[in-house]
């Protein structure tokens, strides 16, 4: 069976707090799937249920078709990084990985391989407590990769990383996914998911808000908008409005045009002899798409 992560009709309450409310989605292999939503949306709870650390009130959570507790050697099937799972600070990085490998029936040589893969070979003999936070995060990832698993579940993997480490991690996750793995990463920051994931699942208050390829989510809000950069904003707005467009002023020298295709915008500005430095299809951000989705959902909820 292909590497997959499946969540079916998950419900979970903590007292009166609803953490998961009939949540269903599937993560396919071959690309990174971003799991986004605001704080408290239910992302970590979903991962904890998938990893057998919480029991759902209803529904099922499956790794490649089986529940986590049914996996014979879990590290070979699913690698996970969750916050709050700390090895002893006095333990050396390589010793920690060797112990993990051996206690899971994996060859000890895997420790060296994952240290190499995560760029930690130079600090292999350092005590874990002396590693900087970014190296600690790399070590967590190294542990998740020990069993060369086809499924990866990473909770907020970019939290606390500087730009260099984030770029490195983005590349590694994409590469691991392209090798045929199902990779699920959570983030509260839509920008982070936009830069890393090809498919996005968005939750809010335990409910599914979106489950679609990133490009489809962005296309749904781009809606034929055209961005124009011009130092002559007032004149541009006048001629474009005269040609039937709706124009809104953005920040700096940008205006956003709707109702006219980009090539028509160029000819209207040229005919009106209005100087401009650029005309392009407006590329909405995932943040904009998310806000639009939450707005539409709020409209659908009866008062
Ligand atoms: N052990 C627990 N006891 C009580 N409530 C909990 C517990 N774990 C989670 N919750 C509640 O369940 C809801 C979902 O929490 P969860 O941590 O899954 O959200 P999240 O999307 O991961 O948020 P964050 O981005 O802040 O980590 C929240 O309202 C949270 O307060």
CATH number at residue 274: 3.30.70.100
CATH number, domain with residue 185 = 3.40.50.300
What is the number of structural domains in the chain? Answer: 2
CA distance linking residue 28 with residue 296, whole number of Å: 27
CA dihedral for 40, 43, 44, 45, sign (positive or negative)? positive
CA distance linking residue 200 with residue 168, whole number of Å: 21
Please state the ipTM of this predicted complex.
0.95
**What's the domain range around 114?**
5-213
The reply to whether 293 falls in a domain is: no
pLDDT in tens, the chain (303 residues): 578 999 999 999 999 999 999 999 999 999 999 999 999 999 999 999 999 999 999 999 999 999 999 998 899 999 999 876 677 888 999 999 999 999 899 999 999 999 999 999 999 999 999 999 899 999 999 999 999 999 999 999 998 889 999 999 999 999 999 999 999 999 988 989 999 999 999 999 999 999 999 999 888 777 778 999 999 999 999 999 999 998 888 778 889 898 898 999 999 999 999 999 989 887 788 888 888 888 877 766 554
Cα 98 to ligand 1 centre (Å):
33
Atom 2 in ligand 1: residue holding the nearest Cα: 14
Transcribe 30-64 into DSSP letters. TSEEEEE-STTSSHHHHHHHHTTSS--SEEEEEET
Check whether residue 243 and residue 104 sit in a common domain: no
Check whether residue 234 and residue 180 sit in a common domain: no
Q: Which of 184, 213, 242 is the last residue of a domain?
A: 213
Check whether residue 49 and residue 152 sit in a common domain: yes
Check whether residue 258 and residue 233 sit in a common domain: yes
pLDDT at 29: 96
Check whether residue 39 and residue 133 sit in a common domain: yes
Atom 4 in ligand 1: residue holding the nearest Cα: 14
CA distance linking residue 208 with residue 198, whole number of Å: 18
Any atom of ligand 1 within 6 Å of the Cβ of 44 = yes
Check whether residue 156 and residue 266 sit in a common domain: no
The enclosing H or E element of 202 equals: strand 199-204
Q: Look up the pTM and report it.
A: 0.85
Cα 17 to ligand 1 centre (Å):
9
The enclosing H or E element of 228 equals: strand 226-229
- Quick check: 67 and 60 in contact, CB under 8 A? yes
Ligand 1, atom nearest to 44 Cα: 22
Could you tell which of 41, 57, 184 is best to mutate to test the pocket of ligand 1, judged by most ligand atoms within 8 Å of the CB?
41
Check whether residue 229 and residue 209 sit in a common domain: no
The reply to whether 297 falls in a domain is: no
């Amino acid at each position: 069976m292909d590497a997959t992560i499946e969540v079916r009709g998950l419900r979970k309450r903590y007292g009166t707090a609803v953490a998961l409310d009939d949540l269903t989605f599937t993560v396919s292999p071959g690309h990174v799937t971003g799991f986004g939503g605001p704080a408290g949306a239910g992302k970590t709870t979903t991962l904890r249920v998938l990893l057998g650390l919480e029991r759902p009130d209803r529904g099922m959570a499956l790794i490649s078709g089986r529940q986590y507790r049914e996996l014979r050697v879990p590290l070979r099937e699913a690698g996970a990084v969750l916050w709050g799972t700390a090895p002893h600070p006095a333990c050396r990085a390589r010793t920690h990985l060797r112990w993990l490998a051996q206690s899971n029936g994996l060859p000890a040589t895997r420790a060296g391989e994952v240290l190499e893969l995560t760029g930690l070979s130079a600090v292999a003999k350092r005590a874990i407590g002396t590693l900087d936070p970014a190296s600690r995060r790399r070590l967590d990832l190294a542990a998740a990769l020990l069993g060369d698993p086809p499924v990866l579940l990473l909770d907020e993997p970019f939290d606390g990383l500087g730009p260099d480490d984030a770029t490195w991690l983005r590349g590694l996750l994409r590469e691991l996914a392209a090798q045929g793995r199902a990779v699920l990463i959570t983030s509260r920051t839509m920008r982070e998911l936009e830069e890393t994931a090809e498919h996005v699942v968005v939750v809010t208050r335990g409910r599914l808000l979106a489950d679609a390829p990133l490009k489809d989510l962005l296309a749904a809000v781009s809606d034929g908008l055209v961005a124009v950069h011009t130092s002559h904003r007032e004149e541009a707005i006048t001629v474009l409005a005269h040609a039937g467009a709706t124009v809104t002023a953005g920040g700096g020298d940008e205006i956003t045009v709707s109702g006219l295709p980009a090539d028509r915008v160029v000819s209207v500005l040229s005919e009106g002899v209005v100087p401009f430095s650029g005309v392009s299809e407006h590329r909405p951000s995932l943040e904009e798409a998310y806000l639009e989705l939450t707005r539409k959902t709020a409209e659908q909820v009866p008062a």
